[in-house]
A and B are shown apart, each in its own frame.
Chain A
Amino acid sequence: MEIRELGGKQLELDEDGFIQDPAAWDEAVAAALAKTEGVDEMSEKHWKLVNYLRNYYLQFQMAPMIRKLCKETGFKLNEVYELFPSGPAKGACKVAGLPKPTGCV
């Protein structure tokens, strides 16, 4: 584990750069995490996606499936990758402060 300053807070990050305390998340933290994923400026579209993920997580304690995310935000999958080049799981979920999605079995 590593402690880094993000958005004015000292935060614990795992080796993939996901924050360890979902409660510590705020918009400044999100903007700082976005920079680590190659997103220098959070546009309205970025926020729309991140807020959707965040709200879904707060309601269901898990990340939505990708197709659901696309359907409910109206973004096509390639648009999600244009917004977050490292993809919805590694990119958008990280910026939204979600626990790390579990990968391949």
Chain B
Amino acid sequence: MEPSNTPLLDELEEGQWPSFVAQLKQAAEKSPAAADLLRQVERSYADNTGHWKRGGIVGVRGYGGGVVGRYSSLPEEFPGVKEFHTMRINEPAGFFYTTEKLRQLCDVWDQYGSGLLNLHGSTGDIILLGTTTENLQPCFDALTEVGFDLGGSGSALRTISCCVGQARCEYACIDTMDITYDLTMHFQSDIHRPSFPYKFKIKCSGCPNDCAAASARSDLAIIGVWRDAIQVDPQAVRQYVADGLNIIDQVVRRCPTWAVEWDAQTQELKINDADCTHCMHCINQMPKALRVGKQQGATLLVGGKAPVVKGAQIGSVLVPFIEMQPPYTEFKELLVKIIDWWAENGKNRERIGELIDRLGMAAFLQAIGRQPCAQMVNAPRANPYLFWKSEEVQQNG
């Protein structure tokens, strides 16, 4: 038997967890590009460094993004990955597929690319890993034939993603998948033709459990909430207790606002809805007995981002409650105002959260026409240095 030329990566074929090396090898049987990727990655494992050049700007006609250019820094050694560009393909909302649709995608990718892909990338796209400059346009043409389109890259509206929502979750207060699809279709040009100061991400979660990680990972987070009472099925609560749930330890004591009471004598659960901050804990513990309320909408949070450039931020409350019914006109108008203010005032590579930090939340709210409200802050300011506008004070001399 020939000795393996990837001894280091071979070690990662062992073990129980599914192996990406096995995937690389499988693709390498058909694709010279995948075979050279395998060899280049082995080289990285040997010398502890990556072997991709920086930069790279390639694309398809009519679009300014959606493809990330990638070139090997060792093209003589690994000619198959000399050009190894990524195509970001906008996923169907909620990551649902028919097998027919996935097979069509695979057929196109086997023809024009390395046969390797990510399901999915961090932002939500299907990531097709590795094709040549020459193949980009024909691959894109073939993808559109089977109903796929590129997602966002660069200083654009990035591909929108969401949790499973009402397709399979009783917690969903908003139709995350319809919102995602509607916004994606409405803002196609902003996804495909970058024109912002930097990237802009929108993610949509159906409830405050935030399975789409919207508040941490999107510039504008849409998170489903309710603003009336939690719906209680008393009989089902008793059943949980009868089945062994320690309702005092697991539910009552863990309510962050002491809004839940349990009367062991009468076997009655009481929720003081005025104190409830709809954190989801009690509902998560007893999904058969407790349901989200009936007055449903979304909270919008603004400014979430990873560390580049000035540090990570978690989004902060911009709109405590907004109705989210198609065609989502109020939301879309607000989004356009946000983008316009940012585009007008933002520096190159400045995310909306950093711009708000630089120019102040008050200036931002005024520009987009929103009133401040107490839900926006953990606490009011402690410092006494307030800004007053000239029209707020009397003229004196």
Contact = CB atoms under 8 A, between A and B. Distances in A.
Interface string A41-58: 000000000000000000
B194 A66 contact: yes
B195 A85 contact: no
A42 to B, nearest CB: 18
Interface in A59-83: 62, 65-67, 70, 77-78, 81
B148 interface: no
A102 interface: yes
Nearest to B53: A15
A23 interface: no
Interface residues of B, number: 29
B195 A66 contact: yes
A97 interface: no
Given A67-B195, A70-B195, A89-B194, A103 B83 contact: no
Contacts of B344: 67
A24 to B, nearest CB: 19
B154 A103 contact: yes
A86 B59 contact: yes
Interface residues of A, number: 25
B69 interface: yes
A77 B195 contact: yes
A85 B60 CA distance: 8
B147 interface: no
17 contacts: A15-B83, A16-B55, A66-B196, A67-B195, A70-B195, A81-B62, A87-B59, A87-B64, A89-B64, A100-B57, A102-B55, A103-B55, A103-B68, A103-B153, A103-B154, A104-B154, A105-B199
Interface of B: 53, 55-59, 61-65, 68-69, 71, 83, 153-155, 189, 193-197, 199, 308, 343-344, 348
